[in-house]
Structure 1
């Protein structure tokens, strides 16, 4: 079977800078009949493991290290033996949630990961956090954007470790250059396409997201 995309929504708490917010997170599972990768192990390791439906988990890829995207990663790694991959610029954030357990491998800009029958190109897209990445899967005509790009605008930049001009540069230089038909599968909420978000960059800057 060719690779396909499965989608799970998990619920929990996002905590940063002394505040806490209830959130629903998208967990993306990409793979074939026998293997899969998980993009952002959020909140519920048992639910994510069940959604694998017996497939071998080859990697847990973190788009960034805010706690709501990584809180279930160590438990899922322990249950499955899969390595956790994170861009090293987000290690300070990671250590706020998991001070005693480091990721197993680093992600790097332009790195190609071939896992579970799928090729992913890592795009380093700082701004929402220093080590934020997006994962472009050309064969699936999809990019997994974490909290860098949502339907209607960029991710939030009002808290520690974030920077609005940087996220705008990341979106303009790394994401909006992808083909218009590419689906954008986000960290929260509904998906969109590159074409739907293209042309709005000046408006986002004017609104000062």
Structure 2
């Protein structure tokens, strides 16, 4: 059993493109490693499997967890899985999106609301937060006082909903009922850009 005190969060920033609905954008993504000196979870295998693999530094990768299936967040997932032997996990509501990027390779397992992912002696809780995509999930790590939000919540408010497979009322409802109810000090580790906190973002989400 790992010692809780050794558990930490590490950020790897990778660069590439995001394509959907006939448009392509240059993006930088936050890839998160949650774990200790022995094992980690990888949150969102974006763009560069080699860089992410190097950051794991020989540790056991328990899983490659996809917050959602936009191509910039899952592009390197199969390659990272091959390098590490770790399963790729995705909410089934995003399988259609996934298949646009990886038509010949399905995820290895399913994320579901309330599922607990153990790593390094702590528990990471899956929170299904539809809106940015139908299968979008956030990962809440109470021990670390952190939530990993993918593209559901950013520094400044909700993630984008102007493209296919997204819905503005749904993301606002997910935020109001699932994320903004977490303790205000909870650090929001986003899919792009800066960290924020739950308390800082409460005013940026419209009331019902």
**TM-score, with normalisation over the residues of structure 2?**
0.96
Structure 1 window deviating more from structure 2 (1-10 vs 76-85): it is 1-10
Aligned counterparts of 2:204 and 2:40: Cα–Cα separation in 1: 34
| 1:107 maps to 2:116 | no
**Hey, what does 1:141 align to over in structure 2?**
145
Structure 2: gaps of 5 or more residues = none
Deviation at 1:91, TM superposition (A): 0.2
Structure 1: gaps of 5 or more residues = none
Contact 2:67-2:137 at 8 Å conserved across structures: yes
Provide the secondary structure at the position in 1 that maps to 2:14: strand
Deviation at 1:118, TM superposition (A): 2.6
Provide the secondary structure at the position in 2 that maps to 1:59: strand
* Residue number among 67, 70, 79 corresponding to 1:66 in the alignment: 70
Q: How many residues align?
A: 204
**Hey, what does 2:40 align to over in structure 1?**
36
**Hey, what does 1:81 align to over in structure 2?**
85
Aligned counterparts of 1:45 and 1:194: Cα–Cα separation in 2: 30
**Hey, what does 1:128 align to over in structure 2?**
132
| 1:157 maps to 2:161 | yes
Deviation at 1:117, TM superposition (A): 2.7
Deviation at 1:84, TM superposition (A): 0.3
**Hey, what does 2:185 align to over in structure 1?**
181
Aligned counterparts of 1:174 and 1:74: Cα–Cα separation in 2: 29
Deviation at 1:200, TM superposition (A): 2.7
**TM-score, with normalisation over the residues of structure 1?**
0.95
Contact 1:37-1:116 at 8 Å conserved across structures: no
**Cα RMSD (Å):** 1.1
| 1:22 maps to 2:18 | no
* Residue number among 54, 60, 71 corresponding to 2:58 in the alignment: 54
Structure 1 window deviating more from structure 2 (107-116 vs 52-61): it is 107-116
Aligned counterparts of 2:88 and 2:120: Cα–Cα separation in 1: 15
Deviation at 1:54, TM superposition (A): 1.1
